[in-house]
Structures are given as structure tokens and as C-alpha cells.
């Protein structure tokens, strides 16, 4: 990789790693406390509203923030136009959801949702105020500020949630957490941004940006719908209690997956957008996709094997019904970082039409799977979703290969070695877990993880996995550089 691109990538990864470590550590603690203070059904009630939050976020963003990031040059006039448009859309959505609260409660046949929806919708309105500042931070690769804001917002909202749950507010504590997160993020983003809105709205600038953003908006809308519609289906067909367990598996999967997405894949779009040479893009892409495979595959498969201990230790015995769902979500979760990198690679070329067409095909496959899954229980519904996500990954792999003048087989060859080795390490982990010698669940979990990590390192060295050698080389180089500079 070129030195400048490499430097930008490592800088982004460094600050994203620091921020994610702070947020994730704190988030896990908050989740553990809330899981013990609240019932699965109360989590399920709020999870029913997830699809509406996703839809609102897609409309508030409308693809215009991506336009601000991707354009070579932007003006304050363009930023102000996006700023006021986002607020106007958010205000409309807030009124819409407020008035629709009884209809939403009727759909789920649960009147407890009426007031929850009205409070929950406040988060949509607050979130609109940080659309432009966040886009500008991302455009300028200012991940230090982004992660500072997200960490403070995460900590503040977690305190709000725990206090409300302790005082007996039940599901409203989760709603309070969402509102506090949006409020703190919006306030800090605007305070720390050098850009300030002016009283101007340019229709011509809006049309220019929307011509790019509208296709990203539709693709984002599809992604948000399909990311949350399973919650709506499970909640409608099986009720809040089953949805609580299902969503616990889903959110636990997000612990490692969001780490990977937030640390590594979110920096792809702004960095890849600056690369003009296809040869350089292919080189950076291949290295990047290999490194992601080397990290995400072992983490997700280790979580798959230790999921029963993980749920028991973190969330208590009352959440053990979520284990089968977590295992399937671990398999599904492997596809998410790859999908993100490949989607951002296509968007970085400015080909939003192709991106939208690919997303339509992928979502069509998932939709067919969901319809088929309606005839089964929640577990088989999720199993079918896993299969459709891998089909979708194959589709976008074939398409992205054309952009970098490579082949889907070459990309798969980069991904597969870490995946195969990860499959090998779960064998000793599994047999260790079945031994009848464990009097303590924590000791069993730690031993399994240690065996998995050591096995992965040894197998990687034995099979001469290039990603391992690259990581070790980069660590040594950066350590030597820091020693010389000091």
C-alpha cells in the first residue's frame, strides 16, 4: 500500500480502536446491568420499534451526508442546505410517528407501545442536528473527534438508562438511553465542528447532491428495512418475550461485528474515494479484505462455540434461551464487515446506480428467504436469513471484482484461509467445553478462549498466513519508529 494511504488507514484504525474500546467496554457493563434489571419482554417491546428508528435514520440522512463525503469540493452553502433539509425531514417524521403511535400499538396488539413510540421518536429529531458535522468529520478523516463524541455520548446515555431502570421505569429506560445518546451526540458534534450553519438553502445545490444521494438513500433505506424487519416479524408472530431473546442474540453478535465495522470498515469510503489508480485500489482492497477476514472469522467462530458461557456469565441464566439465536447470528455476522467494505468500494467510484442495483438484487434474495421463513419458527426463520446473507455476499463479491479488475475467485481465495483456520481452532475448543471437569463457568470460558487464541496463532504460523506476517511486520516497524523518535 502507498505510504500516504497506509498512514491514513492506520490513523483511522488507531482512533477508531481507542474510541471503540472505551465505548464497547462501557456498553458491555451497561448491558450486563440492564439485563439484570429488566425483563426479556421489556427489551422485546423496545426492539419492536427498531425498524421505525432505522427508517427514520435513513430518511433523515437521505444519502446527502455521503454526497458531502464523496464530493471533491464542498461549500458552506451545500452544508447548510443538507443541515436544514435533515431537520425538516426529522420534524416531519416526529409528528408522523407521534400521531401513528396508536396504529403501531394496534399492529403489535400491545397498548404499552403507544407512549413508548411518542418518546422514542424524539431521538429522530435530535439525531438530525449531527448529520452534517459528522459527515464533515468523516470527510476530513477526523476520527479522534468522532470517537470522542461517541464515547461521551455512550457513557452519558448509559448512566441515564441504568438510573431509570433502577428507579423502575422499565422499557422507558431503554428509550431514555436512545434519546440521551442522540442529544449528547448532537450537542457535542455542533460544538466541536468548525463549520456553523448559515441561513441559506440552495435548491440548485440540493438537486446536485440529491442526484448522487437519492440512490444511496434508497440503498440505505433497503438496508435499514432488512436490518430491522426481522424484529418486526418476530415481534408480530411470536410476541415481545421471544423477540427479547432473539434480539439479545442479535445485539450480542453486534459486540464484535460493530467493533470491526466501526474500527476498520467505516474508514474505507473516505479513503478509497481518494484513490484514483485501479491498481492501487485493488492492492489496498485485497490487503484490507484479508486483514478483516483474519480478525472477524476467529472472533465470530470462537463466540459461536462459547456462546452458552458468554450469555450465562454476562446476562445471567434467565437469558439462556437466546443462545441458539446467538450462534446463528455469529455465522451471519461474518458477512457484515465484508459487505460493508465491498459496498464502500463501489461507492468510492461514484457508481451509485450500480450500487443500488446490487442492493436491490441482494435484498430480493433476502426477501424471498423471509417469506419462506414465515412458515417456520423463529429459529428456522433466522437460519434461512443466514443462508440468504451468504448468497448476497457472493453477489456483491462478483460485482466488486469487476471494479478492481480481479475475479470473485481471487477475492474468495483471500478470505478463505483465515476462515478455514478458524474452523480448525473451534474443534479443540469444543472438546474442551464438553469435558466433565468444569465446576466454574468462567474458568471454562477463559480456558476455551486461551486455547482458541493460541491455536489460531500456531495454525497461522504453520500455514504461513500472509495477514499474520503483515500484522507482525507492521507492529515491529511502528514500534521501532516510536523508539527512534523518542
In tens, the pLDDT along 406-458 reads: 899 999 999 999 999 999 999 999 998 888 888 888 999 999 999 999 999 99
Nine-digit cell at 143?
A: 476520527
- Give the pLDDT confidence score for residue 221 in this predicted structure: 78
Tell me which residue has cell 467496554. 25
Using one digit for the tens of pLDDT, what is the confidence trace for 207-244? 777 776 677 777 777 778 888 888 889 988 888 889 99
- Give the pLDDT confidence score for residue 12 in this predicted structure: 52
- Would you report the helix, strand and coil content of the chain in percent, each value rounded to 5? 85, 0, 15
- Give the pLDDT confidence score for residue 330 in this predicted structure: 94
Average pLDDT over residues 100-117: 90
Using one digit for the tens of pLDDT, what is the confidence trace for 11-34? 555 555 665 666 667 778 888 899
Nine-digit cell at 74?
A: 464542498
d(CA 149, CA 92): 26
- Give the pLDDT confidence score for residue 172 in this predicted structure: 93
Please report which confidence band the pLDDT of residue 205 belongs to, taking 50, 70 and 90 as the band edges: confident
- Give the pLDDT confidence score for residue 192 in this predicted structure: 87
- Give the pLDDT confidence score for residue 123 in this predicted structure: 85
- Give the pLDDT confidence score for residue 160 in this predicted structure: 94
Residue 348 has pLDDT above 70, yes or no: yes
Contact 17, 263 (CB under 8 A): yes
- Give the pLDDT confidence score for residue 451 in this predicted structure: 93
**In 3D, which of 455, 376, 472, 377 has the Cα closest to residue 420?**
455
- Give the pLDDT confidence score for residue 213 in this predicted structure: 66
Residue 173 has pLDDT above 90, yes or no: yes
d(CA 262, CA 256): 10
Contact 346, 366 (CB under 8 A): no
Residue 402 has pLDDT above 80, yes or no: yes
Please report which confidence band the pLDDT of residue 180 belongs to, taking 50, 70 and 90 as the band edges: very high
State the average pLDDT for the chain: 84
Query: Which comes out higher in pLDDT, residue 467 or 486?
Result: 467
Average pLDDT over residues 387-406: 91
Please report which confidence band the pLDDT of residue 266 belongs to, taking 50, 70 and 90 as the band edges: low
Residue 379 has pLDDT above 70, yes or no: yes
Which positions ≥6 away from 386 have C-beta within 8 Å?
328, 331, 332
Residue 262 has pLDDT above 80, yes or no: no
- Give the pLDDT confidence score for residue 471 in this predicted structure: 76
Residue 70 has pLDDT above 80, yes or no: no
Please report which confidence band the pLDDT of residue 311 belongs to, taking 50, 70 and 90 as the band edges: very high
- Give the pLDDT confidence score for residue 150 in this predicted structure: 84
Using one digit for the tens of pLDDT, what is the confidence trace for 118-168? 998 888 888 888 888 888 887 777 777 887 888 889 889 999 999 999 999
Which positions ≥6 away from 307 have C-beta within 8 Å?
252, 323, 326, 327, 330
Most confident of 35-44, 182-191, 245-254, 321-330: 321-330
DSSP code for 141:
T
Of 218-227, 313-322, 365-374, 418-427, which gets the smallest average pLDDT?
218-227
CB atoms inside a 10 Å sphere around CB 111: 10
- Give the pLDDT confidence score for residue 16 in this predicted structure: 55
Q: What is the DSSP string of 338-401?
A: HHHHHHHHHHHTT-HHHHHHHHHHHHHHHHHHHHHHTTS-HHHHHHHHHHHHHHHHHHHHHHHH
Helix (H, G, I), strand (E, B) or coil at 75: coil
Question: What are the residue ranges spanned by the domains of the chain?
Answer: 1-225
Residue 378 has pLDDT above 70, yes or no: yes
Cα–Cα distances in angstroms (integers) from residue 339 to residues 276, 342, 405, in the given order: 22, 5, 18
Find the largest Cα–Cα distance for the chain. 71
Taking the CA atoms of the chain, what radius of gyration do you get in angstroms?
22
Query: Which comes out higher in pLDDT, residue 198 or 479?
Result: 198
Please report which confidence band the pLDDT of residue 77 belongs to, taking 50, 70 and 90 as the band edges: confident
- Give the pLDDT confidence score for residue 20 in this predicted structure: 61
Helices and strands, counts by H and E, the chain = 21, 0
Please report which confidence band the pLDDT of residue 485 belongs to, taking 50, 70 and 90 as the band edges: low
- Give the pLDDT confidence score for residue 234 in this predicted structure: 92
Helix (H, G, I), strand (E, B) or coil at 334: coil
Average pLDDT over residues 318-331: 94
- Give the pLDDT confidence score for residue 102 in this predicted structure: 93
Amino acid at each position: 500500500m502507498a505510504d500516504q494511504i497506509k498512514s491514513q488507514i492506520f490513523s483511522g484504525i488507531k482512533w477508531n480502536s481507542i474510541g471503540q474500546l472505551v465505548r464497547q467496554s462501557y456498553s458491555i457493563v451497561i448491558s450486563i446491568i440492564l439485563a439484570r434489571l429488566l425483563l426479556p419482554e421489556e427489551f422485546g417491546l423496545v426492539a419492536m420499534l427498531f425498524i421505525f428508528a432505522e427508517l427514520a435514520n435513513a430518511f433523515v440522512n437521505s444519502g446527502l451526508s455521503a454526497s458531502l463525503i464523496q464530493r471533491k469540493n464542498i461549500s458552506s452553502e451545500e452544508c447548510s442546505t443538507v443541515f436544514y433539509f435533515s431537520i425538516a425531514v426529522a420534524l416531519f417524521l416526529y409528528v408522523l410517528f407521534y400521531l401513528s403511535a396508536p396504529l403501531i400499538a394496534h399492529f403489535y396488539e400491545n397498548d404499552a407501545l403507544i407512549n413508548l413510540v411518542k418518546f422514542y421518536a424524539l431521538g429522530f429529531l435530535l439525531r438530525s442536528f449531527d448529520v452534517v458535522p459528522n459527515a464533515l468529520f468523516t470527510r476530513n478523516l477526523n476520527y479522534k473527534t468522532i470517537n470522542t463524541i461517541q464515547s461521551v455520548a455512550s457513557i452519558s446515555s448509559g448512566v441515564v438508562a441504568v438510573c431509570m431502570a433502577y428507579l423502575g421505569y422499565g422499557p422507558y429506560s431503554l428509550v431514555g438511553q436512545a434519546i440521551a445518546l442522540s442529544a449528547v451526540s448532537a450537542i457535542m458534534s455542533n460544538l466541536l465542528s468548525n463549520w456553523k450553519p448559515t441561513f441559506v438553502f440552495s435548491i440548485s445545490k440540493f438537486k446536485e447532491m440529491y442526484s448522487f444521494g437519492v440512490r444511496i438513500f434508497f440503498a440505505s433505506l433497503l438496508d435499514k428495512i432488512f436490518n430491522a424487519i426481522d424484529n418486526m416479524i418476530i415481534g408480530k408472530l411470536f410476541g415481545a418475550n421471544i423477540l427479547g431473546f432473539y434480539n439479545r442474540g442479535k445485539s450480542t453478535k453486534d459486540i464484535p461485528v460493530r467493533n470491526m465495522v466501526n474500527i476498520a470498515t467505516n474508514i474505507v469510503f473516505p479513503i478509497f474515494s481518494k484513490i484514483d489508480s485501479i491498481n492501487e485500489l485493488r492492492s489496498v482492497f485485497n490487503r484490507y479484505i484479508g486483514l478483516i477476514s483474519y480478525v472477524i472469522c476467529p472472533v465470530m467462530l470462537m463466540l459461536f462455540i462459547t456462546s452458552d458461557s458468554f450469555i450465562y456469565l454476562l446476562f445471567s441464566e434467565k437469558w439462556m434461551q437466546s443462545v441458539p439465536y446467538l450462534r446463528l447470528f455469529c455465522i451471519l455476522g461474518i458477512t457484515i464487515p465484508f459487505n460493508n467494505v465491498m459496498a464502500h468500494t463501489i461507492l468510492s467510484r461514484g457508481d451509485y446506480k450500480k450500487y443500488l442495483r446490487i442492493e436491490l438484487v441482494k435484498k430480493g434474495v433476502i426477501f424471498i428467504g423471509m417469506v419462506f421463513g414465515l412458515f417456520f419458527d423463529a429459529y428456522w426463520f433466522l437460519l434461512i436469513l443466514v443462508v440468504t446473507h451468504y448468497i448476497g455476499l457472493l453477489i456483491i463479491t462478483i460485482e466488486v471484482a469487476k471494479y478492481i479488475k480481479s475475479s470473485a475467485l481471487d477475492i474468495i481465495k483471500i478470505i478463505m484461509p483465515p476462515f478455514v483456520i478458524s474452523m480448525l481452532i473451534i474443534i479443540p475448543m469444543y472438546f474442551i467445553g464438553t469435558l466433565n471437569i468444569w465446576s466454574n463457568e468462567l474458568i471454562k470460558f477463559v480456558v476455551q478462549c486461551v486455547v482458541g487464541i493460541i491455536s489460531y496463532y500456531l495454525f497461522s504460523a504453520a500455514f504461513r498466513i500472509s495477514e499474520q506476517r503483515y500484522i507482525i511486520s507492521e507492529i515491529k516497524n511502528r514500534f521501532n519508529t516510536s523508539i527512534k523518535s523518542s
